[in-house]
Amino acid sequence: KNEVEQSPQNLTAQEGEFITINCSYSVGISALHWLQQHPGGGIVSLFMLSSGKKKHGRLIATINIQEKHSSLHITASHPRDSAVYICAVLFSATPRLLYSGGGADGLTFGKGTHLIIQP
């Protein structure tokens, strides 16, 4: 079964702390997606990656394909970083599935990490 596990489920930290959120998945993937969801429900895409590391401002995402694991880091955290962070993966599909016009999986999501940064 294709599964995505996130940890921790909830995280409360003080402003300025270094934050790490983890995501593990069960089988080979084509891509991993980190998303941010604010209390109003809107979702913003933070990173898409299939290997290595990406950085955008205070956010860093890394992925280890061999270990089937990704981390999202937030440096110098701020109260405005408070949100739910969701990991989603696109599991690899065989060429047959890819070109047969259907059957390939869409994104599979983790349950999310509720992050609260206190001033």
Partner 1 sequence: KAGVTQTPRYLIKTRGQQVTLSCSPISGHRSVSWYQQTPGQGLQFLFEYFSETQRNKGNFPGRFSGRQFSNSRSEMNVSTLELGDSALYLCASSLDFTHRWLAGGGSETQYFGPGTRLLVL
Report if residue 112 touches partner 1, rule: CB under 8 A.
Answer: yes
* Spatial separation of the C-alpha atoms in residues 16 and 11, rounded to whole Å: 14
| Least separation in angstroms between CB 5 and partner 1 | 12
H or E element at residue 99: helix 95-99
Report if residue 93 touches partner 1, rule: CB under 8 A.
Answer: yes
Stretch that binds partner 1, among 19-27, 63-71, 75-83, 102-110 (CB under 8 A): 102-110
| Residue ranges in contact with partner 1 by CB under 8 A | 30-31, 33, 35, 40-45, 48, 50, 86, 88, 90, 92-93, 98, 101-112
